[in-house]
Chain A
Amino acid sequence: MKLKLASLALGALMAAAAPALADLTIPALNYRTGPYAPSGIPYADGFSDYMTLINERDGGVGGERINVLECETAYNTEKGVECYEQTKGEGALVYIPQSTGITYQLIPKASADQIPIWSVAYGRTSAVNGKVFEWVFNLPVTYWDGASVAVKYAMEQEGGSLEGKKIALVYHNSAYGKEPIRTLEALSEKHGFELVLLPVDHPGQEQKAQWLQIRRERPDFVFMWGWGVMNQVAIQEAANIRYPMDKFIGVWWSGSEADVVPVGEGADGYKSLTFHGAGTDFPALQEIKTQVIDAGKGAGDGTKWGEVGYNKGVYTAAVVAEAIRHAQEMAGTASITPVQFRDAMETLEVTDEEFEALGLGGFAPAISLSCESHSSPRLAAVQQWDAEAGTWTLVSDYMEPDFEIVDPLIEEDSMAYADENGIELRCD
């Protein structure tokens, strides 16, 4: 008991001793350890490096330096909650949970504490409905949009019809992986394809049974909602059974270098969805290379620079920085509060020209948010892996999802949430 009390006192003391910083604080709930680290590290590096660039080159945003507060979650919800509690007292402007599980956990908590959450194309899809989810944003695109775009792309490949075709969904058996199922079911009814669901349990190293089934059922397309080590294993298994790679489409979290490189030649032609550009051919990325990584100020060892995951981190950081700038303009003060940040997010517009000015021209489609719609532009493209050149290239335009299917589902799910939690609708 004494031991317990002494350690409690120690813990409390240290929590109190944590420094309070006056800068604009953005907690980064990263995971550089655990089975999801291959996906987590590039993102974490990209996010921090872009913020370092902003601090080094421009002295922060509006004269306020940005303090990226890293907290290691290992993609574990308990650690995520701990990170949230630890960082929220330090003036956190916005939470980017980096995990659908942690997002679900934080939605009620952060809404009660009045801190915005931005789940970057993950998390709860129905949070798009700003009438219900005042504090949650899910841009630029959602899983339901992604599922619909994937089907649309498959339909184009098949010459306009999926009647009588078979699509298998290999998914991480968690809240994340289950997200697209409802949309795919609705779409299979509409387009008349058969949907085969193949769950893979955490962490996803064991998939023999699922791919055996794919070999037997011979689906025309395989979609994948995978993450971390599960992606590599799935692509390897697909290569082993000689599944045609150009019929194998992953979500945006299943399409980075870490997923395809270990498979080597076998991964050639593998496709995935994406919501931002690939490669390093953007001025901002070149500046990060010269001013951050080469200057020895990078968050990681610099090897992840320009990877898909890294670019996602850059994209996220760029939009956050834009939102801060917008919030400062709206509030007329440089040191903004989470509430002001939320108000700015809700009216955020990032045009193509503004992306161009950031050194990210053509990197991602323009964004325009509103009170009703907490997601924009809701577009996704398909990229393909070239194993020989070691590059991803976009093979389609940015495509719109089937709003006729997705929007009623969003309405239904968000209204159910509003009823359950007694939330009054906003934006009227």
Chain B
Amino acid sequence: MFYREAGDFKTSYIDDGQTFPIRFDRYRFYAVLAVAFLVVPFIVGDYTANAILLPFLIYAIAAIGLNILTGYCGQVSLGTGGFMAVGAYACYKLMTAFPEVSIFIHVILSGGVTAAVGVLFGLPSLRIKGFYLAVATLAAQFFLVWLFNRVPWFYNYSASGQISAPEREVFGVAVTGPHTEAWATYLFCLVFCLGTGLVARNLTRGTLGRSWMAIRDMDIAAEIIGVNPLRAKLTAFAVSSFFVGIAGALFFAVYLGAVEVGEVFGIQKSFLVLFMIIIGGLGSIFGSFAGAAFLVLLPVILKLVGVNLLGFPTDIVAHFQLIIVGSLIILFLVLEPHGIARLWNVTREKLRLWPFPH
């Protein structure tokens, strides 16, 4: 009944090659977009925006970025936190150096700066693979955090070493700084999230994505059939870091407003984003969203249920949160090693046959 291609005829190549070829899928996607753009902004409150929606959207962008590198191109990276820090500091320097330029452009430029840094740290990937590459990116993580802590130029010589976002506007509405409305920050992040999602989806379906996947599946075979590993790997690093940089810039400027590099962009951030794509599904854009939703929402929901509904002490809930999230991760990986994305695909197949299971 759902997800049927029967009766859904394509008369042109453009129709045939679209992102969601099944009609139901496409309408469902439009419905989600309509709700996200036309309904949510009117009902969103400060708490929902700042505790749930903004972190979800921003982590989703970071997860898409890492998924391109790790899920599509097969290069394990533990440097996500460091690259997010590059995005955040680039955004801060740009915001303070060119206050008259739109924050929109600054965020994209910060992505560009991060892409350049990412390519630099991606160079070793041409020689080393697997765990050794993970260690090399780990070095990037620690080096970048150390750098932003060590060189006062990056934080404009402020006494505390913190960076804080000044107020900036888009179309006359503040999106950074303290005087923001929940809907404005939400929409700003949503636009970036949608943009990166669409770009990523289309990149991974095209030539570039196919060359990444060829490298991931077997790099020697890919080289033999004519895929240039230098180009494939470095573009993967560049595109991935670009997205991660945008996520870092938004994380700092829109979500937190003030950032201390060691605490916010530490190694645990790298692990968090890595867990997101592992749980969500490697090599899947939807998986990036699902993983981000899982790891952002679950702790919040557990906390709300535990503290507000059941009235448990906060420390017990915090400990339970660790236990429950941890065991759910293990459970998920045992029951569905390919992540939530695969679970979703299975559901979709079932729905396609429903109500006739055979």
Contacts from A to B (Cβ < 8 Å): 1, 3-5, 7-8, 10-12, 14-15, 17-19, 30, 32-33, 70-72, 74, 76-78, 81-82, 85-86, 88-89, 100-101, 104-105, 108-109, 111-112, 124, 173-175, 178-179, 181-182, 199, 201-202, 413, 420-421
Contacts of A4 in B (CB 8 A): 56, 289-290, 293
B301-A72 in contact (CB<8A)? no
Q: Given the complex of chains A and B, what is the CA–CA distance between A272 and B159 in angstroms?
A: 24
Q: Given the complex of chains A and B, what is the CA–CA distance between A252 and B356 in angstroms?
A: 71
Question: In the complex where A11-B300, A77-B260, A81-B256 touch, is A124 in contact with B314 (Cβ < 8 A)?
Answer: no
A14-B319 in contact (CB<8A)? no
Smallest Cβ-Cβ distance to B290: which chain A residue: A3
Interface residues of B in 31-52 (CB under 8 A from A): 32, 35, 43, 45-48, 50-52
Instruction: State the 10 A-B residue pairs at the shortest beta-carbon distance, nearest first.
Output: A32-B315, A108-B178, A112-B178, A175-B160, A72-B314, A14-B304, A82-B51, A85-B47, A33-B318, A72-B318
Q: Of A1, A8, A81, A100, which contacts B286 at CB under 8 A? A: A1
Q: Given the complex of chains A and B, what is the CA–CA distance between A30 and B53 in angstroms?
A: 24
Question: In the complex where A82-B50, A85-B46 touch, is A201 in contact with B262 (Cβ < 8 A)?
Answer: yes
Total contacts A-B at CB 8 Å? 140
Binds A, one of B116-124, B204-212, B305-313: B305-313
Binds A, one of B126-134, B161-169, B324-332: B161-169
Contacts of B358 in A (CB 8 A): none
Question: In the complex where A1-B32, A1-B289 touch, is A10 in contact with B301 (Cβ < 8 A)?
Answer: yes
Contacts of B337 in A (CB 8 A): none
With both chains docked as a complex, state the minimum distance between the C-beta of B170 and any C-beta of chain A, in angstroms: 18
Per DSSP, chain B at the interface is helix
Q: Does B340 count as interface, using CB distance less than 8 angstroms?
A: yes
B48-A15 in contact (CB<8A)? yes
**Most chain A CB atoms below 10 A, which of B51, B293, B315, B340:** B315
Contacts of A15 in B (CB 8 A): 45, 47-48, 304
Contacts of B47 in A (CB 8 A): 15, 85-86, 89
With both chains docked as a complex, state the minimum distance between the C-beta of B212 and any C-beta of chain A, in angstroms: 24
Q: Given the complex of chains A and B, what is the CA–CA distance between A404 and B304 in angstroms?
A: 49
With both chains docked as a complex, state the minimum distance between the C-beta of A33 and any C-beta of chain B, in angstroms: 4
Q: Given the complex of chains A and B, what is the CA–CA distance between A300 and B257 in angstroms?
A: 34
Q: Given the complex of chains A and B, what is the CA–CA distance between A100 and B159 in angstroms?
A: 13
B48-A12 in contact (CB<8A)? yes
Given pairs A15-B45, A82-B51, 18 additional interface contacts (CB within 8 A): A5-B35, A7-B297, A8-B52, A11-B48, A11-B304, A15-B48, A30-B315, A33-B315, A70-B313, A71-B307, A72-B315, A77-B256, A77-B259, A81-B255, A82-B300, A86-B47, A104-B258, A182-B159
Smallest Cβ-Cβ distance to A72: which chain B residue: B314
With both chains docked as a complex, state the minimum distance between the C-beta of A142 and any C-beta of chain B, in angstroms: 12
Q: Given the complex of chains A and B, what is the CA–CA distance between A71 and B317 in angstroms?
A: 10
Q: Of B149, B313, B315, B344, which contacts A173 at CB under 8 A? A: B149
A72-B317 in contact (CB<8A)? yes
Q: Given the complex of chains A and B, what is the CA–CA distance between A17 and B305 in angstroms?
A: 10
B257-A109 in contact (CB<8A)? yes
With both chains docked as a complex, state the minimum distance between the C-beta of A143 and any C-beta of chain B, in angstroms: 10
- Per-position contact with A for B317-353: 1 when CB-CB < 8 Å, else 0? 1110000000000000000000010001000000000
With both chains docked as a complex, state the minimum distance between the C-beta of B162 and any C-beta of chain A, in angstroms: 5
B256-A202 in contact (CB<8A)? no
Q: Given the complex of chains A and B, what is the CA–CA distance between A77 and B167 in angstroms?
A: 20
B28-A1 in contact (CB<8A)? yes
Q: Of B29, B160, B301, which contacts A7 at CB under 8 A? A: B301
Q: Given the complex of chains A and B, what is the CA–CA distance between A77 and B266 in angstroms?
A: 13
Contacts of B10 in A (CB 8 A): none
Q: Does B21 count as interface, using CB distance less than 8 angstroms?
A: no
Contacts of A112 in B (CB 8 A): 178-179
Q: Given the complex of chains A and B, what is the CA–CA distance between A112 and B262 in angstroms?
A: 27
**Most chain A CB atoms below 10 A, which of B29, B46, B258, B290:** B258
B46-A89 in contact (CB<8A)? yes
Contacts of A88 in B (CB 8 A): 46
With both chains docked as a complex, state the minimum distance between the C-beta of A124 and any C-beta of chain B, in angstroms: 7
Contacts of B167 in A (CB 8 A): 421
Contacts of B56 in A (CB 8 A): 4
Q: Does B55 count as interface, using CB distance less than 8 angstroms?
A: yes
Residue pairs across A and B with Cβ atoms less than 8 A apart, 19 shown, are: A1-B289, A11-B301, A12-B48, A14-B304, A18-B304, A72-B303, A72-B317, A77-B258, A77-B259, A81-B50, A85-B46, A89-B47, A108-B178, A108-B257, A109-B178, A174-B262, A175-B160, A178-B160, A179-B159
Contacts of B318 in A (CB 8 A): 32-33, 72, 74
A104-B160 in contact (CB<8A)? yes
With both chains docked as a complex, state the minimum distance between the C-beta of B215 and any C-beta of chain A, in angstroms: 29
A111-B260 in contact (CB<8A)? no
Q: Does B264 count as interface, using CB distance less than 8 angstroms?
A: yes
Q: Given the complex of chains A and B, what is the CA–CA distance between A17 and B53 in angstroms?
A: 18
With both chains docked as a complex, state the minimum distance between the C-beta of B290 and any C-beta of chain A, in angstroms: 6
B258-A105 in contact (CB<8A)? yes
Smallest Cβ-Cβ distance to B31: which chain A residue: A1
Q: Does B177 count as interface, using CB distance less than 8 angstroms?
A: yes
Question: In the complex where A8-B52, A85-B47, A112-B178 touch, is A17 in contact with B308 (Cβ < 8 A)?
Answer: yes
B164-A78 in contact (CB<8A)? no
Interface residues of B in 267-320 (CB under 8 A from A): 286, 289-290, 293, 297, 300-301, 303-305, 307-309, 313-315, 317-319
